[in-house]
Chain A
Amino acid sequence: MTRKTSTLAAALTVLAFSFPAYAADPIKIGVLLPSSGVFAGLGGDQTLALEMGFDDFGREVAGRPIELIPADTESKPNSGLAQFKKLVFKDEVDIVVGIISSAVAGAVRDAAHNAKVPLIISNAGNNPLTGEQCSPWILRTSFSNSQIVREMGPWMAAKGYNNVFLMAFDYAAGHQMMDAFREGFVAAGGNIAGEEFPPLGETKDFGPYLAKVKAAKPDAAFVFFAGGPAIKFVKEWAAFGLKGEVTLAGAGWLNSALYVKKQGMDAEGALGILNYVPSIDTPENAAFQENFRAAHGRDGSEFGVAAYDSARLIVEALKATGGATDDKAALVAAMREVHFEGPRGPFRIDPMTNNVVQNIYIFEVQPQGDSVAAIVQDVIPDVQDPPKGCTL
């Protein structure tokens, strides 16, 4: 029975595609986000925001409906690559958007470059993707790891932090974040008190590393953790008596809007640097947050905003081509021209690298009502990556 039905479905599909394309042909967009594996939570968050983006900016361009086709990367490179191929070669999508994990992005990169289909990366921050491995077909609406962190070193040095301890998981993103911080901080005259790189995903206990931080007696620590480990790290930091003794600073995912309230008062006083915080005071952001809260009962996060802006980028580029998608080069050219005021401020694509140019915010976690929130302390406008080895 099952087999019969699916054969029937397959036959119908074949029939449907054998008709020539006509005006109301849907514009197909592959959504390459994990619904399983370690990044399932972030994938879910981006899916919600992407849907909201298409609701807000239009589900139809020039009479052609926009159809989203989800594909689960399982947060694994090989599955991500297989799903990318499925989207492009089986579903024949016009645009692919998504990718949380840098490992998945790395696996997909060559295939996307060769397939000549626009790929919009809505999270993965691996530097080389818009550096030496950049491709005219790959745009990034989220960030590069160094883009987020680079300005934090000089800022902290100027605030009088001279001796800083570094910590991140031992993986590519962790090292890129720490390198970017170290470079700026040392150039500004700071001293690195010590650094630790616990093994990714296997650290069930930050205790041993916190003991090392304690022993080093720094002014501050600069760390990069995200998701479950970030919650755990902040709580442990307080439990080990480091809160109040040593200033905790981090790449802002440490106190992401997705879970800063779960960290509660343990997070209070933490400094962070990120491309978005919910407390940004602009009408665009107020509208975004209001919609998101109404729909999902919580703050929209930096992950959500990147997906939301990706939807806007796609819709505006499609409007610019009059809904035409056959000429993929023209479609990408249109995307590179799009610029707007989004929830996180001015948004545009850097023609040198295809990475986003955006404001970077420095925040402090402060009490708010019966909980805490990240409050903006400083804004560094229009942060742009140097085109490291990228020639487009």
Chain B
Amino acid sequence: MRERDPIQLPVAGLLAVIAVAAWFGAGYFGQELLAEIAILAIFAMSLDLLVGVAGMVSLGHAGFLALGAYATAGATVFWGWPPAAALAFSVAVAGACALGVGLFAVRLGGVFFIMITLAIGQMFYAYFFKARAFGGDNGMSGTPRFDLSPLGLETGDPAVFSALMLVIAGAVYVALLLLVRSPFGMMLTAIHQNENRLASLGCPVRRYKLAAFGLGGAIAGLAGALMAQHTGFVSPDLAFWTLSGEALIIVILGGSGSLVGAAGGAAVFVMLRDHLSDGSFWEGLRLSGDIATHWQLVMGLFFIAVVLLARDGLYGRLSWLVDRVRSAWRGRGGGA
């Protein structure tokens, strides 16, 4: 437990500055990547709430992402709802389903929690794969983006859309940070550290965990709804368990429990994937561009390296570095 978390806000500020700079510098494709990063960051932060804060490792979190995406796709395409209303609907559906699932899942701990969330995530996958109404395995296109024309904004323009996604990601971050620092969040952290002690103190541990699980699901649903808007397309792949696994890697890479780390991890992850699968990147390293064909091998090795070496993630390392620099500075200052 970090008693103090002095670098949380500076790092968040730094990320925000980088994001704004990237937004101004990005071309058409860069904007696409930025929007993808922002949405993935929301998803990763929602998982971090479960994993890093409340200590519940879910391998089925992508199920709620997919629920949100499909709810938005269904509401806009079948019922003609405006995207903003569909977004609220997505959050509600994903949150409600997460609460329903959580009712059972939070009774379990450790590996068994991982296994049951995996099974439930795969249930969503199997369902969407077969759902004829949503195009089954072929998925479904046609989800529209927010209509901001009254404000004079055209969300079809990647720059506008990516800016919007960055703003929403920022808002989600602030909301989650306030939540984590609230008494509710403190309690979750305490449960994470010693569940038995809190239970013996009479704390309704399961109710807290359930609330966190439902909230995490709802935010994943939000990310799903935005993803459906971004790509205009939903498919069962969104629920597949490997996506949950990748999100966990992002959380660890960034630094589990640090929120802002999850956002940074998402950025690193997307950029890395984009580079590794691009032949010109490898040629830039004076290697054969054909390596790009097997980029998933490199990605897998990277996953392993992250888990083995990251310990407390990029955020933790940065935190450690700042501490060292500070104490060195103080040491020198004291001597002078």
Contact A8 B274 (CB under 8 A): no
Determine whether A172 belongs to the interface, using a CB cutoff of 8 Å to chain B.
Answer: yes
Determine whether A5 belongs to the interface, using a CB cutoff of 8 Å to chain B.
Answer: yes
Determine whether A205 belongs to the interface, using a CB cutoff of 8 Å to chain B.
Answer: no
Determine whether A135 belongs to the interface, using a CB cutoff of 8 Å to chain B.
Answer: no
Contact with A along B226-238 (1 / 0, CB 8 A): 0000011101011
Docked CA distance A224–B274 (Å): 36
Determine whether A214 belongs to the interface, using a CB cutoff of 8 Å to chain B.
Answer: no
Docked CA distance A107–B232 (Å): 8
Q: Which residues of A sit under 8 angstroms from B130, Cβ to Cβ? A: 170, 199
Determine whether B303 belongs to the interface, using a CB cutoff of 8 Å to chain A.
Answer: no
Determine whether B11 belongs to the interface, using a CB cutoff of 8 Å to chain A.
Answer: no
Determine whether B8 belongs to the interface, using a CB cutoff of 8 Å to chain A.
Answer: no
Contact B138 A78 (CB under 8 A): no
Distance (whole angstroms) from the CB of B184 to the closest CB of chain A: 34
Q: Which of B123-145 contact A (CB under 8 A)?
A: 126, 129-130, 135-139, 141-142
Docked CA distance A106–B134 (Å): 12
Q: Which of B21-39 contact A (CB under 8 A)?
A: 27-30, 32, 36
Contact B235 A35 (CB under 8 A): no
Determine whether A85 belongs to the interface, using a CB cutoff of 8 Å to chain B.
Answer: yes
Distance (whole angstroms) from the CB of A74 to the closest CB of chain B: 8
**Category for how many chain A residues contact B:** 35 or more
Q: Which residues of B sit under 8 angstroms from A266, Cβ to Cβ? A: none
Q: Which of B224-254 contact A (CB under 8 A)?
A: 231-233, 235, 237-238
Known: A106-B139, A170-B130. A35 touches B280 (CB 8 A): no
Q: Which residues of A sit under 8 angstroms from B126, Cβ to Cβ? A: 199
Determine whether A36 belongs to the interface, using a CB cutoff of 8 Å to chain B.
Answer: yes
Docked CA distance A106–B142 (Å): 10
Determine whether A171 belongs to the interface, using a CB cutoff of 8 Å to chain B.
Answer: yes
Contact B280 A13 (CB under 8 A): yes
Distance (whole angstroms) from the CB of A125 to the closest CB of chain B: 11
Q: Which residues of A sit under 8 angstroms from B75, Cβ to Cβ? A: none
With a 10 A CB-CB cut-off, give which of A9, A78, A83, A86 has the most chain B CB atoms: A78
Q: Kindly identify which residue among B138, B279, B296 contacts A103, using a CB–CB cutoff of 8 Å.
A: B138
Contact B235 A78 (CB under 8 A): yes
Distance (whole angstroms) from the CB of A50 to the closest CB of chain B: 14
Determine whether A76 belongs to the interface, using a CB cutoff of 8 Å to chain B.
Answer: yes
Determine whether A18 belongs to the interface, using a CB cutoff of 8 Å to chain B.
Answer: no
Determine whether A72 belongs to the interface, using a CB cutoff of 8 Å to chain B.
Answer: yes
Known: A13-B280, A70-B279, A72-B293. A89 touches B233 (CB 8 A): no
Contact A82 B136 (CB under 8 A): no
Chain B residue, CB-CB nearest to A102: B138
Determine whether A296 belongs to the interface, using a CB cutoff of 8 Å to chain B.
Answer: no
Contact with B along A47-90 (1 / 0, CB 8 A): 00000000000000000000001111010111001110110011
Known: A2-B285, A36-B296. A71 touches B129 (CB 8 A): no
Taking chain A's interface residues, is the majority helix, strand, or loop, or is none over half, making it mixed?
Answer: helix
Q: Which of A1-31 contact B (CB under 8 A)?
A: 2, 5-6, 8-10, 13
Docked CA distance A63–B294 (Å): 33
Distance (whole angstroms) from the CB of B160 to the closest CB of chain A: 15
Determine whether B317 belongs to the interface, using a CB cutoff of 8 Å to chain A.
Answer: no
Known: A71-B277, A107-B139. A89 touches B231 (CB 8 A): no
Determine whether B101 belongs to the interface, using a CB cutoff of 8 Å to chain A.
Answer: no
Q: Which residues of A sit under 8 angstroms from B28, Cβ to Cβ? A: 89-90
Q: Which residues of B sit under 8 angstroms from A89, Cβ to Cβ? A: 27-29, 32
Known: A6-B281, A86-B29, A170-B130. A76 touches B138 (CB 8 A): no
Determine whether A110 belongs to the interface, using a CB cutoff of 8 Å to chain B.
Answer: yes
Q: Which residues of A contact B (CB under 8 A)?
A: 2, 5-6, 8-10, 13, 35-36, 69-72, 74, 76-78, 81-83, 85-86, 89-90, 102-103, 106-107, 109-111, 126, 170-172, 199-200
Q: Which residues of B contact A (CB under 8 A)?
A: 27-30, 32, 36, 126, 129-130, 135-139, 141-142, 231-233, 235, 237-238, 274-275, 277-281, 283-286, 292-296
The 17 sampled A-B contact pairs (Cβ below 8 Å) are A5-B286, A6-B275, A13-B280, A36-B293, A77-B233, A77-B237, A78-B238, A86-B32, A89-B29, A89-B32, A90-B29, A107-B139, A107-B141, A107-B233, A170-B130, A172-B138, A199-B129
Q: A90-B29, A107-B233, A110-B232 are in contact. List 16 more A-B contacts (CB 8 A).
A: A5-B285, A9-B284, A36-B293, A36-B296, A71-B277, A72-B277, A74-B296, A78-B237, A82-B36, A86-B32, A106-B135, A106-B141, A110-B233, A171-B137, A172-B136, A200-B137
